[in-house]
Amino acid sequence: MLSKRSLVGVRLNFHTLAVLFFLLIGTQAFAADPAVSDSDEAVAAGKSLFNANCKTCHKLDQKAIGPALRGITERRSIDWAKRFIKNSQAVIASGDEYAVALYAEYNNTNMPAHEFLSDGDLDNLLSYIEYGDKVDPAAQAAAGAVGADGEVAAGGGVPSEYLTIIVVVLVIVLLLILIVLGLIISVLTKYIDKQDLDEDDKEFVSQKFNFGKVLKSDGFIIIVTALVVALVAKTAIDGLYSVGVQQGYAPTQPIAYSHALHAGQLEIACQYCHTGVEIGKSANIPSPNICMNCHTHVQNVQGKEGISPEIQKIYDAVDNNKPIEWVRVHNLPDLAYFNHSQHVKVGGIECQTCHGPIEEMEVVYQHSSLTMGWCIDCHRQTEIASAGNEYYDKLVQLHSDSKDALKVKDIGGLECAKCHY
Ligand code: HEC
Ligand code: HEC
Ligand code: HEC
Ligand code: HEC
Ligand code: HEC
Ligand code: HEC
């Protein structure tokens, strides 16, 4: 015969479970806890280690001599990654299946050992690998569709998809447990009903478990409300910040032209192709003729046979006298006026200040927000490059009684009409 206490036990468990269940959903939904630190210092420290030791063979989002590294702590454990970086040969020799297969896939290329790296160094390296130089996820998704062989975004959105699947499965399992427990209770209650019980016990048994009561309980309502409010707030904030802002935009281009190759590796000057930056408002996108200066001779990538299909597209454009239809990345609305030569030639600002590390991009993406606030912030903070510019001599003199250096804001950089037609 079942005692009162064990019944209370069941009921308690059921209650606790219901609460735990919702707590778990809560923690899971917000469990963005990174496995490796994403602090700026760790990423910066990792970047210099990476550039010194790994860059010759690895890129974060693209296959090079070794695999694309981002996402390694999701593919493998952190511990595994550390052991592999320290001494990959030891891991391969230990018969680790994944390592052996990877080694074979990369034609038995030996990755050098890095025993000299401390555990802290390795943590920083992994921080950089997972969080460094990250393209906006939207851009990565877009870039993924483009990348020369579609590898750019390997590691991008996948983990969060996994997280969602895990959460959904957990919720289903917990729901099933709840249902089973409910069934057990109702069976047990029926069984007890048939026994001879004294008044006390009868009353206790007949106060059935009331699911409605749990739903109405304060604890439950508070948890659910908090979850809903947090979710709505997060969605709303994310949404508001991105209205009309195309930061990270990385459209597919008609030819897989790479700045990382041409501006980075081959070190062709930006001005060679973007002929307008120092002389006019617009930077200009090069015509196919400029490409042909080299590509009449360069028909393929080193080590590959036959004409590259991507370079063939340049020939087609020239032969048919048709422009290449590059997709515009940066685009201010018509109401705003921006002039390149004013910033590059007169202001002496580097392209990268506004466009980011173009010389590392396989596919160009919009690095800055290009909002009015972005223009204004810089005009508030940036000093005029007045040295050697006669035009500014008088202004600087007039300004010399002020303690602050002459900033763009002081020459009218905040006036509406300067930027708006
Ligand atoms: C000389 C080229 C070379 C250098 C330098 C190099 N690696 Fe590697 N790495 C490889 C190759 C090749 C592989 C593929 C496995 C193999 O062949 O051993 C690899 C594999 C890896 C893997 C496993 C990747 C995966 O997808 O499972 C990690 C992690 C890794 N390297 C990290 C690093 C780090 C961090 C550094 C710098 C401290 C570094 N590597 C330096 C060539 C290199
Ligand atoms: C060999 C020619 C060439 C060189 C050198 C070159 N670019 Fe480009 N650039 C292009 C072409 C072609 C496009 C259009 C296709 C694209 O967006 O990838 C482009 C696009 C761009 C864009 C995006 C334009 C838009 O649509 O908004 C920026 C920004 C840019 N380049 C900056 C640079 C900078 C900075 C450098 C120097 C570090 C540089 N480029 C060097 C050919 C070149
Ligand atoms: C100053 C010389 C030079 C100019 C100008 C130049 N390229 Fe290249 N480009 C090269 C070289 C060299 C390679 C091959 C690099 C290699 O062997 O890996 C190359 C490779 C390429 C590739 C890679 C082909 C493949 O199969 O992966 C494409 C695509 C390309 N260029 C497009 C362009 C376009 C489009 C322009 C004009 C906007 C342009 N290039 C202007 C020198 C140039
Ligand atoms: C002060 C910020 C700033 C600097 C510095 C800058 N750009 Fe731009 N760039 C922009 C903005 C803003 C646009 C969008 C312009 C528009 O839509 O009218 C743009 C657009 C472009 C475009 C697209 C075509 C065009 O002219 O609109 C190219 C190509 C480009 N920039 C290349 C360069 C190169 C190369 C340099 C360095 C020599 C450079 N930019 C320096 C802000 C900058
Ligand atoms: C990285 C800093 C930076 C950013 C970002 C920037 N500017 Fe500027 N801007 C400057 C500097 C520096 C000058 C002064 C150049 C000179 O000496 O004439 C300047 C000058 C100007 C001027 C001329 C002002 C005058 O009184 O002569 C205009 C117009 C202008 N910027 C528009 C824009 C617009 C529009 C944007 C955003 C799309 C923008 N700028 C973003 C740095 C910046
Ligand atoms: C340094 C350049 C600069 C100055 C100064 C400036 N703006 Fe703007 N403004 C911009 C740019 C760039 C945009 C486009 C931003 C975008 O597309 O998000 C813009 C957008 C706007 C818009 C349209 C907003 C929208 O949602 O499309 C208004 C309205 C506006 N500015 C008003 C003003 C007024 C009023 C002033 C003077 C108090 C002013 N601006 C001064 C650069 C400037």
Supply the residue whose CA is at minimum distance from atom 31 of ligand 5: 413
> Which residue's CA is minimally distant from atom 29 of ligand 2?
355
Q: Which of 188-197, 317-326, 411-420 has the lowest mean pLDDT?
A: 188-197
Lowest-pLDDT range of 111-120, 139-148, 264-273, 309-318: 139-148
Closest ligand to C-alpha of residue 338 is 5
Contact criterion met (CB below 8 Å) for 251 and 329:
yes
Which pLDDT belongs to residue 233? Answer: 83
- Predicted pLDDT at 190: 80
137-156 pLDDT, tens digit per residue, is 555 444 443 333 333 333 33
Joined tokens for residue 108: 């038995």
Name which residue leads in pLDDT, 309 or 209: 309
Mean pLDDT, residues 350-365: 94
> Cα separation of 172 and 169, whole Å?
5
- 10 Å Cβ neighbour count for 324? 18
Calculate mean pLDDT across residues 340-364: 93
Tally of CB atoms within 10 A around 287: 14
Higher pLDDT, 8 or 411: 411
Contacts of 166 (CB under 8 A, 6+ apart): 28
Q: Among the atoms of ligand 2, which is closest to the Cα of residue 355? A: 29
* Atom 21 (ligand 4) nearest CA: 283
What is the pLDDT of the chain when averaged over all its residues?
80
Nearest CA residue ID for atom 35, ligand 6 = 416
**Rounded (5°) CA angle 122-124-130:** 100
Best residue for ligand 1 mutational test, from 61, 88, 106 (most atoms within 8 Å of Cβ): 88
Residues 16 and 239: their CA atoms lie apart, in Å, by 36
The pLDDT tens digits for 242-275 are: 556 677 788 889 999 999 999 999 889 999 999 9
Q: Which ligand is nearest to the CA of 344?
A: 4
Distance 320 CA to ligand 3 centre (A): 20
Among the listed residues 364, 348, 209, the one whose alpha carbon sits nearest the alpha carbon of residue 273: 364
Q: What is the dihedral of CA 414, 417, 419, 420, to 10 degrees?
A: 140
Instruction: Write down the pLDDT at residue 142.
Output: 46
Q: How high is the pLDDT of residue 10?
A: 44
